[in-house]
A and B are shown apart, each in its own frame.
Chain A
């Protein structure tokens, strides 16, 4: 379980992972939870890849037809396309087919319980169709998937939902709030006097003292991407869920885990995911963008950028 040790905190399951809600005004936790439940349920109805009744599933099944979507789903698609544009396509929402080809075609808990996926049949496509095949008419809320594109908003939707929940809770219940959805963290409203303490590590489900680093944040978002957690067996090898759009395969990265702080959680997650895919080039990219980040290699050594605090631990190298 995600650690939530402060007063005014709650943990619960959502999107197949663990959510945590922390409030600076503990007495308003119940109201905040009600807001979060409603918002997260709406996001799940819009963009779950594993619900046949979701808008995303219907759009993917539309065979390229122009489809009318809800305002919420349009916003989610817009966020995904923005992430693609800002990363020159490294974070691409048209990885749906590629994920299915490597066995991630059902809820991850089901996949894990099954002990992995069977070796894929047929030849891999080799690439993803690309985000430019997603045509969004924002004003009229119309979407068309061209070129056989199949949407998967896994790279942005959870972080976007964390931002949305944090903003709405802060406004509605008048409290500082931290929302964590599977380790994608957004904060809003007044922070506690010494900030929100976050343990940065490989796995969001690890304990509050898991190997890693503790930092505090006061605003914006913090997200971590890793190749070590959402993994499964495919034939004789282990694969993970971060797809390199250039190959259509799980990214082969020099980083096992990347954490990024940004102005909001979806931007942080966009950058951390892109950094995994970019490999060594991510360091200069993050530095040039002014994004504080912590990048951990396979051997556990870490590199930091743009004001991320140095870890006093022996395993860290600045």
Chain B
């Protein structure tokens, strides 16, 4: 009876070790896989416009004019209208 109990305890400890080892390996594989995916596709994310990619000389807004239009009289040299 006592032999059976010892055998059971050893088997339990062995099972726990195996589960623990499996869990750690699965975790490590998951981390490594995530890193690989990030490396493989990271440049696509960075290159996609509209995600703060910093394209266009870092212009994140529509640029206002250095000075607003000034009033004038008479005809224009050119016309700004739709085409």
Interface residues of A (CB under 8 A from B): 2-6, 9, 17-18, 20, 22, 78-79, 81-82, 84-86, 131-132, 134-139, 158, 178, 180-185, 194-210, 212, 214-226, 228-230, 257, 259, 261-264, 267, 270-271, 289-292, 306-310, 312
Contacts and interface: CB of A to CB of B under 8 A. Distances in A.
Interface in B22-80: 43-44, 47-50, 53, 55-56, 59-80
15 contacts: A3-B78, A22-B78, A178-B77, A183-B82, A200-B76, A200-B79, A201-B80, A204-B79, A209-B74, A212-B81, A216-B69, A217-B70, A230-B82, A292-B64, A312-B71
Given A84-B50, A135-B44, A137-B43, A200 B80 contact: yes
A267 B43 CA distance: 27
Contacts of B53: 138
Contacts of B56: 78-79, 82
Nearest to A194: B72
Nearest to B64: A290
Nearest to A256: B82
A293 B69 CA distance: 9
Contact of B79 (A206, A225, A261, A291): A206
A222 to B, nearest CB: 5
Nearest to A85: B50
Nearest to A108: B83
Interface residues of B, number: 34
B81 to A, nearest CB: 4
Considering residues B43, B50, B53, B74, which has the most beta carbons from chain A within 10 angstroms of its beta carbon? B50
Interface of B: 43-44, 47-50, 53, 55-56, 59-83
A231 to B, nearest CB: 10
A214 B64 contact: no
A185 B69 contact: no
Chain B residues touching A, majority SS: loop
Contacts of B62: 86, 262-263, 267, 270-271, 289, 291
Contact of A4 (B50, B63, B71, B78): B78
A225 B65 contact: no
A203 B80 contact: no
Nearest to A5: B77
B83 A197 contact: no
Q: Sort A-B residue pairs by CB-CB distance and give the 7 closest, nearest first.
A: A182-B83, A263-B63, A199-B76, A226-B82, A307-B68, A208-B75, A215-B69
Given A139-B47, A267-B62, A204 B69 contact: no
Contacts of B82: 182-183, 202-204, 224-226, 228-230, 257
Given A185-B78, A208-B78, 14 more contacts: A86-B60, A86-B61, A139-B47, A197-B76, A200-B76, A204-B80, A206-B81, A212-B81, A222-B69, A229-B82, A291-B62, A292-B64, A292-B65, A308-B68
A216 B70 contact: yes
Contacts of B69: 198, 215-217, 222, 261, 292, 307-309
A181 B69 CA distance: 19
A195 to B, nearest CB: 6
B81 A214 contact: no
